[in-house]
Copies of this chain bind each other. A is one copy, B any other.
């Protein structure tokens, strides 16, 4: 049986372990601490720095395939593994587009994929440049770190350059953050198209979902995106499959999209299991975690058929009281059909520590069930607004 090594030990690796157990495949993780989310549930843990060349090389030695639960492993280290003949999936050439938003935008532009207008912010005269960008595309301007962002981190909305906006730009550039500007898109809502691609070239697309974000953090995913016209859903799937093919992605590719009055625009790419795909554990015949393993192992891909009319996933964020387990009782008694997934992470306020999933025929009911469970796990009986 093959050994799959995953760099990173977060919840994505943790849930991949559930799929690996089913397939009989050995999963190993390289992670910073023995009590990281995945490290708690995997027997083959190497504690180390997955951004350090030597740790990564030592880890890869025992693995048939190396894959990633985040985008932060340096490209040069991956290229070195590839040069030594190690299968890295996705490969460094594809992964570069998920690691650097400017590389991604330039490439998608060349492919004719619809994206918001964007430009690199030159570290010399940045304010003058942004002023010109805003004159062309309007205020506000979206400012993004080209590398290293996640969950709303590394993205800022700049309203103007007087006062706070100008200070922010100067501070970030002073800290050495490489910045790009993007047109602010007045979208109707956010969608995500999740596809898988194998080295053999097989592709598989999941139903297109709606993602609901609060403060830059995904709080809810609805599958399929309610009321999405069939031609737009098909276009989103085609876009994602075509990007996966053109970039040579192996494994999962999540394409975050804006639905606007003028059609779809690509916002972000991720090449790994993705928060917008957690619903697939119960809601699709093949979970995204099993699918990622099948893809990186070059096994035939699994069916993406939904198992229910609607599936809603709600993220559980940490609240004020860290004793989440005491709140299982109400949640499970209240709704025997809701599925609770906890990640073994310290429940700090606002941190993603788990998710819940509900399925059914009545969308309003399914959303309310997922929302209630997630809110209760966060806050307990004194329900507050999720902020």
Contacts and interface: CB of A to CB of B under 8 A. Distances in A.
Interface of A: 1-2, 14-15, 17-18, 20-24, 26, 39-43, 45, 204, 281, 285-286, 294, 299-303, 305, 307-308, 324-325, 328-329, 332-333, 336-337, 339-344, 354, 359
A312 B35 CA distance: 38
B302 A336 contact: yes
Contacts of A43: 39-43, 45
A286 B41 CA distance: 21
B332 A299 contact: yes
A342 B1 contact: yes
A299 B329 contact: yes
| Copy count, this protein chain | 2
Contacts of A336: 204, 285-286, 300-303
Contact of A340 (B2, B23, B204, B308): B23
A24 B302 contact: no
Given A286-B336, A325-B1, A332-B299, A342 B23 contact: yes
Given A2-B325, A328-B299, A336-B303, A343 B41 contact: no
Contacts of A341: 22-24
A337 B204 CA distance: 13
B1 A303 contact: no
Please report whether the interface of chain A is mostly helix, strand, loop or mixed according to DSSP. mixed
Nearest to A17: B21
A78 B233 CA distance: 57
A27 B338 CA distance: 22
Contacts of A302: 332, 336-337
A310 B325 CA distance: 34
Nearest to A342: B24
A152 to B, nearest CB: 24
A42 B124 CA distance: 53
Contacts of A308: 307
A10 B225 CA distance: 41
Given A325-B2, A344-B1, A41 B21 contact: yes
B337 A305 contact: yes
29 contacts: A1-B342, A1-B344, A2-B325, A17-B21, A18-B22, A20-B41, A22-B281, A22-B340, A22-B342, A23-B340, A24-B325, A24-B340, A24-B343, A39-B43, A41-B42, A41-B43, A43-B43, A285-B336, A285-B359, A299-B329, A299-B332, A300-B329, A300-B332, A301-B332, A301-B336, A302-B336, A305-B337, A307-B307, A307-B308
